[in-house]
Amino acid sequence: MWLPLLGLLFGIVLGLLLPVKIPVAYAKYMSVAVLAALDSVFGGLRATQEDNFDHAIFLTGFFSNTLLAGFLAYIGDQLGVELYLAAVVVFGARIFQNLGIIRRHLLKRKRT
């Protein structure tokens, strides 16, 4: 369980230390990609706590969610519609849902 958290922490620290500039034109794509990745990470943490983690499901979900979110943003740009907002809402809701379930698992474990 600690390995994904250490990887996330390492990635955040590395991202803050390296001066990577992303053009404003790609901001929509990066926002949905980051949300999709965070959704997969929190889903993986939840599955780990439920003793239901599967590497294949995690990796395929990580990449398919990220690609689908990027594709929605691209199609929205082509149509002139802010379609990426659908991915932002869905991934945001799933992140908070998974975080709530993780919190309940941790509180339940602490009480027993």
Q: Which residues lie below 8 Å from residue 73, measured CB to CB, with a gap of 6+?
A: 28, 29, 32, 83, 84, 87
What are the pLDDT tens digits along the chain (112 aa)?
Answer: 678 778 889 988 998 898 888 888 888 888 898 899 899 989 999 999 999 999 999 999 899 988 888 888 899 889 988 888 888 899 999 999 999 999 999 998 888 7
Residues 6+ apart with CB under 8 A from 48: 1, 4
- Neighbouring C-alpha atoms within 13 Å toward the C-beta of 97: 10
Q: Measured between alpha carbons, how far is 93 from 97 in angstroms, rounded to an integer?
A: 6
**Cα angle: 98, vertex 66, 7; to 5 degrees:** 60
Q: What is the domain partition of the chain in residue ranges?
A: 22-111
